[in-house]
Amino acid sequence: MRKKIGHKHLVLILALLVIMLILIFTFSVYEGSTEKGPSLEKKPDTEKKEEYSVQEIIEPHDVIPDESEEIPLIEENEKEIEILNEVTVTIRNLRFYPNEVTISPGTTIRWFNNDTTAHKVVAYDRLFYGPRLNPGEEYTFTFTKEGSHSYFDAVFPKIGRGKIVVKGEPLPITGGVIGIDLDKEETNGKFALLTILFIVMIFALSHGIHTHYKKI
């Protein structure tokens, strides 16, 4: 007659199951926390506000500023950003920050009006022609081809200037989403490996117990 599995072996199997459940729970919590991302709190604007006169340029009577005029530079640490799938350009104090951006095809530029007055983003070549943006509003445009596109603020054309340079290989597209979350892929790979190791361990333990009691 076949003997029953000993108490020590049952305890060992239960311990392995508990460890596996703890690991699954830990990975699920970690994955959930990485998807939420950091929260952004809007800080109160303590800068001194200035009054500006607004004279918006509206089609078809646009008075386009001379593109050859030099674009005023801003601080070097705010000038260049590099590229994933979306880049934010902030409008404040009548200027664009950063005022020159280099991106890859497939990248979306997001202009956010963080000023106290309205602004309007217009490309010299009319590749994009944004709506009037009141404070707190935004406008987005996706660049799909290589090229250099200078633009200006149609409300304050002599002050607000910017430039978008599109070059390089297009970003990878998978299932309609631009780019790949490498951290998530790595986490999923580790979890799959851990699951396989656990299954192999259980199989080996069961086989060992079966062989042991078969010899008795």
Going by pLDDT thresholds of 50, 70 and 90, the confidence category of residue 13 is: confident
State the pTM of this model: 0.46
- Residues 153, 201, single domain; the answer is no
- Which structure tokens are listed for 89? 């350009």
The Cα-based distances of 161 to 102, 170, 195 in angstroms read 15, 26, 55
Neighbours of 118 (CB within 10 A): 18
Would you say residue 214 has pLDDT above 80? no
Q: Is 45 left (phi over 0), alpha (psi -120 to 50) or beta?
A: beta
Which secondary-structure segment (H or E) carries 25?
A: helix 7-36
- Residues 193, 148, single domain; the answer is no
pLDDT digits (tens, 9 = 90+) for 57-114: 555 444 455 555 554 444 444 444 444 589 999 999 999 999 999 999 999 999 999 9
- Residues 82, 157, single domain; the answer is yes
- Residues 167, 81, single domain; the answer is yes
Would you say residue 165 has pLDDT above 90? yes
Going by pLDDT thresholds of 50, 70 and 90, the confidence category of residue 126 is: very high
The span from the CA of 161 to the CA of 85, in Å, is 23
Is 80 a domain residue? yes
- Residues 162, 196, single domain; the answer is no
| Angle between helical axes of 182-215 and 7-36 (0-180°, round to 10) | 170
CA atoms within 13 A on the CB side of 189: 6
Would you say residue 33 has pLDDT above 70? no
- Residues 160, 201, single domain; the answer is no
- Split into its structural domains, the chain has a count of 2
In 3D space, the residue among 132, 135, 130 whose CA is nearest the CA of residue 117 turns out to be 135
In 3D space, the residue among 150, 130, 132 whose CA is nearest the CA of residue 140 turns out to be 130
The span from the CA of 86 to the CA of 107, in Å, is 6
Percentage of residues of the chain with pLDDT beyond 70: 52
End-to-end CA distance of the chain: 10
Is 125 a domain residue? yes
Is 48 a domain residue? no
Is 147 a domain residue? yes
Domain that includes residue 158, residue range: 76-174
- Residues 164, 88, single domain; the answer is yes
Q: Is 176 left (phi over 0), alpha (psi -120 to 50) or beta?
A: left
User: What's the CATH number where 107 sits?
Assistant: 2.60.40.420
- Which structure tokens are listed for 73? 């530079």
Q: Output the pLDDT for position 91.
A: 97
Is 67 a domain residue? no
pLDDT digits (tens, 9 = 90+) for 173-202: 544 444 444 555 566 676 677 777 777 777
* Amino acid in the structure at residue 164: I
Going by pLDDT thresholds of 50, 70 and 90, the confidence category of residue 39 is: very low
